[in-house]
Amino acid sequence: WQNKIEADFISSHQPELLISYNYRYIIRPDVISLMSDRIINLHISYLPWNRGAYPNVWSFLKDTPKGVTIHLIDEGLDTGDILYQEKIEFNEAKETLASSYSRLHEKIYNLFIENWEQIKNFKWNRKKQIGSGSINYVKDFERIAHLISDLNWDTPISTLKQKYNKLIEGDKRA
């Protein structure tokens, strides 16, 4: 489903559970209220780090923990209680954004499948996110997108990080 989910859709269909995965819209408060802790998000970051857009990219550029999280959706941006979570280690000299993105999606898919019985029966153990973590918006990515387009998604992450660090150092001097 790629359309915006509206309250009237929820009212007329009365789903038991909503699952957000690569959904590009922020779910509105009226929809969240109607679903009452029955919306989960499959997010390719290790929350509370890298909430928002392009979490894979930022986890490397800002050197934050990497992994995947299944969490409840609340009115914040990726701030809901954590249901399931797993860290992932990467070899940045060999890994690319494309390969790491694929690994993260495979891991979140497997985490979801492994826990589907608990998820569908609402038998999860939720925990609050600890710490402030980080958040990134599309506009943050737009500022550095040229680094990726100058290289490509198959460039080693270590090379991308070198370019990013040079950009940041240049900004500090300006």
Q: Are strands 82-87 and 67-72 parallel, antiparallel or unpaired?
A: antiparallel
Strand ranges (E), the chain? 18-21, 39-43, 51-52, 67-72, 82-87, 135-136
Closest to 171 (Cα-Cα) out of 132, 144, 136 = 144
Catalytic residues: 43
Long-range contacts of residues 52-56, Cβ cutoff 8 Å, at least 24 apart: 52/77, 52/78, 52/135, 52/136, 52/137, 53/136, 53/137, 53/138, 53/140, 53/141, 54/136, 54/138, 54/140, 54/141, 55/136, 56/97, 56/100, 56/101, 56/104
